[in-house]
A and B are shown apart, each in its own frame.
Chain A
Amino acid sequence: MSDIKNMADIEIRVQSDAFAITHGYPETLNGRTDIGAVVSFTGLVRDFNEAPDVTGLSLEHYPGMTENTLHAIAEQAWQRWTLQAVRVVHRVGHLQPGDPIVRVLVASAHRRDAFQACDFIMDLLKTEAPFWKKEHAKSGDYWVKERHTDQTDAQRWSSS
């Protein structure tokens, strides 16, 4: 585990503005040469989900609790693996198919830590962070239902 953690090593953003699909990469590297691995995950809005023809998505959240929860998840990852940076950005408001909705970037000295921490953060984000999706489809609007598989994915981390 890294002994020194700067405030800048964990960055959490919840925003209605779009973010670049490279978000976090240049900011994290920024001339550093001690980083050996960067793993990032980008989630996009699909044009099919519970309905076949999704035309858009509205994302609601619980301001304050959202940021705190994401921070707590990033901190847990920091405790579990040897990491050098964690950056999470999540959009809220109105989105269209193809828009990036979430991006998690993890940097570490060795690849295994970065792979696992990124996977862990996404699993916990899906089950703990207070975001709610409402999908707009040609057949009408509906709130997205929670998925059992997301719960079982998150539980993998509590048994290991």
Chain B
Amino acid sequence: MNLTHLNAQGEAHMVDVTDKAETSREAVASGCVFMQPATLALLVEGGLPKGDVLATARIAGIQAAKRTHELIPLCHALALSKVSVDFLINHEQHCVEVSATCRLTGRTGVEMEALTAVSVACLTLYDMCKAVDKSMQIEAIRLDSKTGGKSGDYRRAGYTSEAPIVTGEGDTGEVSLRERCPTAGVRVKFLAELRERLATSESFVSLDELPTSDIAGLKAVLAQRDPRFALLNEQRTLCAINQVMANDTARITDDDEIAFFPPVTGG
């Protein structure tokens, strides 16, 4: 096996890709920013001094992917056809999981672009939160999968292109004590495609924030926090209170579990 960025004399050079076939290529990379639980709580609530952390980190990651060739000496400049950066809040391990997907039809792979997007999104998360937490750690930046190109497909061992199965409190058959909400309020879950579009899996809303104690009131509070939550008002978005389907006028009470999700597609 050879290192393609070294020529016969062992000098660094840029690979000539003129004669390589154009194929559809995709790369997925991920990383993790570990932080204090209190920092994560502030991040989720939008209480950090620099504002919306995830939205900013997403834009930073996308911009970085487009400029990879300026940072990494022997990378080609690529016209990416898609860059997406997603976040998953992991409350158990108090970290933000960052993943980036890059795609194009071309002659070179997009692994470096995906890795750069994740790296810069992680750095931006750090920058946005460092006022309250300097002990954050950026870890496990790695390539999860790549498809297309001469070297074929790669999938990191243990990587299952995760639409994680949403587990509630503990796995099936396990009993776990639920963390009690600090003040009277409701936990709000976002499932499946909606979770990905919102880049968040869970929020907490205290009862005294609600203009009216129903689903419509909850949607209003969330939309005020972040314009992305306008998605909840789309007609196709469904809602359940304590796992029973509900509409906008359904009443909310303390400690309810509210879930928003897209139309179902099982079977």
Contact = CB atoms under 8 A, between A and B. Distances in A.
Contacts of B166: 60-63
Interface string A131-160: 111101011110111100000000000000
A88 to B, nearest CB: 10
A129 B266 contact: yes
Contacts of B24: 138-139
B264 A94 contact: no
A58 B264 contact: no
A30 B263 CA distance: 38
B34 to A, nearest CB: 25
Nearest to B192: A132
Contacts of A145: 265
Interface string B136-170: 00000000000100000000000011111111100
A92 B265 contact: no
Interface string A82-112: 0000000010111000000110000000000
A116 interface: no
A93 B103 CA distance: 25
Contact of B160 (A64, A65, A90, A94): A94
Given A130-B191, A138-B147, A68 B243 contact: yes
Interface in B61-85: 82
Contacts of A143: 192-193, 196, 262, 265
Contacts of A102: 266-267
A128 interface: yes
Interface residues of B, number: 32
Nearest to A122: B267
Contacts of B193: 132, 134, 143
A126 B161 contact: no
Interface in B1-31: 24, 26
A41 to B, nearest CB: 9
Contacts of A90: 266-267
B262 A126 contact: no
A37 B122 CA distance: 59
B264 A127 contact: yes
A43 B265 CA distance: 13
Nearest to B167: A63
Contacts, number: 102
Interface in A50-76: 56, 58-65, 68
Contacts of A133: 265-266
Contacts of B172: 63
B262 A61 contact: no
Contact of B243 (A64, A128, A132, A136): A64
A65 B266 CA distance: 14
Interface in B213-267: 236, 240, 243-244, 259, 261-267
A3 to B, nearest CB: 29
Given A16-B165, A102-B266, A138-B24, A130 B261 contact: yes
Nearest to B191: A62
A125 interface: yes
A127 B264 CA distance: 6
A42 to B, nearest CB: 11
B266 A146 contact: no
B160 A58 contact: yes
Contact of B165 (A43, A60, A146): A60
Nearest to B197: A143
Contacts of A126: 264, 266-267
The 5 A-B residue pairs whose C-beta atoms are closest, nearest first, are: A131-B266, A132-B192, A146-B263, A65-B243, A143-B193
Given A64-B243, A133-B265, 8 more contacts: A60-B192, A61-B266, A63-B165, A63-B167, A65-B243, A125-B266, A132-B264, A138-B24
13 contacts: A56-B161, A58-B162, A62-B166, A65-B240, A129-B266, A130-B264, A131-B267, A132-B191, A132-B193, A140-B103, A143-B265, A146-B236, A146-B264
